[in-house]
Amino acid sequence: MTNELDYLSRRVTLGKLSRRDFLGRAAALGVTATLANSMFSTAVKAQSPQKGGILRAGMQGGAATDSLDPASWSSQVPYFFGRQWAEQLVQIQADGSLSPALAEEWGASDDAKVWTFKIRKGVQFHNGKEMTPADVVATIERHADANSKSGALGILGGIQNVKADGDTVVFTLSEANADLPYLLDDYHLMIQPNGGKDNPTEGVGTGPYKITVNEAGVRLGAERFAGYWRDDRGFADQIEIIVINDPTARTSALQGGQVDMINRVEPKIVDLIKRVPGVTIQNVAGKGHYVFIAHCNTAPFDNNDLRLALKYALDREEMVQKILFGYGSVGNDTPINKSYPLFTEMEQRKFDPEKAAEHYKKSGHSGSVLLRTSEVAFPGAVDAAQLYQQSAAKCGITLEIKREPGDGYWSEVWNKQPFSASYWGGRPTQDQMYSTAYYSKADWNDTRFQREDFDKMLFAARSELDETKRRQIYADMGAMVNQEGGVITPMFNDFIDATGPKVGGWTPDGNQEMMGGYALSKCWVMA
């Protein structure tokens, strides 16, 4: 009965259950009218933001090498912390729409080659200085510089010029781009004083929280910034992130009340956690996907027959069933699924030992293939690698699995070693996803998929304003990645987080885990 009442209260909190329905269903469970009314009032109160207290998150995805420089963010903890202390020009909402942030409004020329963003006045950095259009220009310039090694480098390649003009910032593009505002939501593009050129790791932004603790890989903390410009977030007095890469320890911390929310709940224990009083599973489908990535320019993976053999040697249905436990869907060796606009279905690749063996023989490869993995790559990544090893063996392919430590995985294995497990949270548009991870010159091209013809299609789609033609270009790009790319995509995952009884204001957001990265600033401590 307790679980049912908790469920009903959460429905009220989310605004999905009326007083009348709540009282009726509570009565059916044998709850007195007095108690039911009290529970309803408490649930209604939880809908309204409350200020004060401390919110703590226990998170996987932190390492001693983490930096406060937004250009370097590649894993969950620095990205999530960054959402609390820094902001971009725009913000993508849970429904996929674009809302103003540090830019109040924007517009484009008829040919979508010139974009003008009006910069919000009166916004303070945490150092007391006012944010200006010059800071925006400097930010874009820094991330567009190849020497910055920014994760946003790939999406900024089409910018020919950026300049301040009064209270606006004007982007001039080499080619038309109808998606430019969406690209500026990229979490690397946090606006910093002088763009971060003076000190990119200073940790000064315009967000609702001001950094007080920075112990990389251990603990991060911040306090509410008194000069923050908006009132719809930043409710807690203090926030804290405790890095807990071990999934069992992370779950125990939530159960024991040491933290109020956790990310990356393993699908295999979801049903167990659901039984814990006061704990709520927060799962939402989106664009996130778990992958095995092979470098197309590194032997033996520079042979497409070997890459195809590895793709056919993967039993996707089994992996979704045994790793995701229903919290996701089958992938198809591209980063794009039906969550994206202008998506086109293609024939689903299936486990096929005969085709795998055929392509493996054609590749001429002999001996084992080394696959690196770690529990921090994605929940269940080690188990997934072992399943992959078993299905590949049925095809005559020997996978050697090397389990790497979590700390240092994102700095020493991902994007460096030629074959490894990884994940992507996805991006708002196909252009951004492909620009970030498949454009030849992108710093985050983690499969080393370097094709001039693909780049040309990317630019053509970006500048094509006819939706039908653009859809076809994206379909052709998806087919190219599917047939010739180095990404092996077994599954698209739900984001599975969990919250404790003190957390109010949680809303589903499929853009990224932890409410699109905004959980600590948009949620509040319930009295």
DSSP code per residue over 130-144: BP-HHHHHHHHHHHH
Residue 45 phi/psi, 5-degree rounding, is -60, -35
Residue pair 60/80 in contact (Cβ under 8 Å)? The answer is: no
Alpha carbon distances (Å) from 97 to 86, 92, 364, 382, 466 = 20, 6, 49, 36, 20
Report the distance separating Cα 296 and Cα 458, nearest Å: 19
Alpha carbon distances (Å) from 175 to 151, 256, 258 = 21, 54, 51
Residue 198 has a pLDDT of 97
Residue pair 445/293 in contact (Cβ under 8 Å)? The answer is: no
Residue pair 156/162 in contact (Cβ under 8 Å)? The answer is: no
Report the distance separating Cα 57 and Cα 378, nearest Å: 18
Residue 7 has a pLDDT of 58
DSSP string, 55-116: EEEEES---TT--S-GGG--SHHHHHHHHHH---SEEE-TTS-EEESSEEEEEE-TTS-EEE
In the chain, which residues have pLDDT < 70? Answer: 1-20, 22-23, 26, 28-31, 33-46
Residue 18 has a pLDDT of 67
Residue 42 has a pLDDT of 60
Residue pair 36/8 in contact (Cβ under 8 Å)? The answer is: no
Residue pair 402/373 in contact (Cβ under 8 Å)? The answer is: yes
Burial environment of residue 24 by CB neighbours within 10 A (0 to 12, 13 to 18, 19 or more): exposed
Residue 147 has a pLDDT of 86
Residue 17 has a pLDDT of 64
Strand order in the sheet with 419-424: 328-330, 487-493, 289-294, 419-424, 369-373, 399-403
Integer Rg of the chain from CA: 24
Residue 428 phi/psi, 5-degree rounding, is -60, -35
pTM, two decimal places: 0.84
DSSP letter for 172, please: E
* Domains in the chain, CATH or no CATH each: 2-45 (no CATH), 54-63+207-284+495-525 (3.40.190.10), 87-196 (3.90.76.10), 289-493 (3.10.105.10)
Tally of CA atoms within 13 A in the half-sphere of 281 that contains its CB? 20
